[in-house]
Amino acid sequence: MIRVAILASGNGSNAENLIQNCPSSLVEFPVIITDNAKAGVLERAQRLEVATQVFSRQDFQEGGVVLDFLHRERIDGILLAGFLSRIPQCLVAEYPQKILNIHPALLPRFGGRGMYGRFVHEAVLASGEAVSGITIHYVDAQYDHGAPLCQATCPVYPDRDTHDDLAERIHHLEYLYYPIAVQQWLRQIFGL
């Protein structure tokens, strides 16, 4: 059984989706970690009976206390689900190809620092793109930079979409494809 920590900064709908839709025979989610003490994911975790841990953004910048916690919890891999802090180099080095992120656009476009949530969707709409989507990728030391594991697309209607309209289509892709990508990752990296 692979022990996977989920890192989330916000509402936590992707975290809940992963917990509910990844095969429990392959993976367990012993903890949800956040950098936001007021994150909605904390309520979701309580409802799902998953332990939580809150670290400050400073803790994530320095990395050592987070890495020590992951070791104590015997964490084998990490999934980012709307996590906004940059992953420190010490975690990337300790978990090579064992950290995945989901990004609400087709990287390498519309990625990088500050490109999350509605900011991504607004940028896609402002650019006049006809297609957007999601990218599930391995995490390295840069924002939204690691090698992609998979991408999925949806149409954009720049003449009538709001960022909320596009976000709804993107969320549908996230909920559908992230659990599938995690199963692929478990096979490729952990041999399950």
Letter string b/e over residues 29-61, b meaning 16 or more CB atoms within 10 A of that residue's CB: bebbbbbbeebbbbebbeeeebebeebeeebbe
Q: Is 137 a catalytic residue?
A: no
The alpha carbon of 178 is separated from its chain's Cα centroid by a whole number of angstroms, namely: 9
Active-site pick, 71, 103, 163, 172: 103
Rg (CA), the chain: 16
Helix (H) or strand (E) holding 2: strand 2-7
- Give the residue numbers marked as catalytic: 103
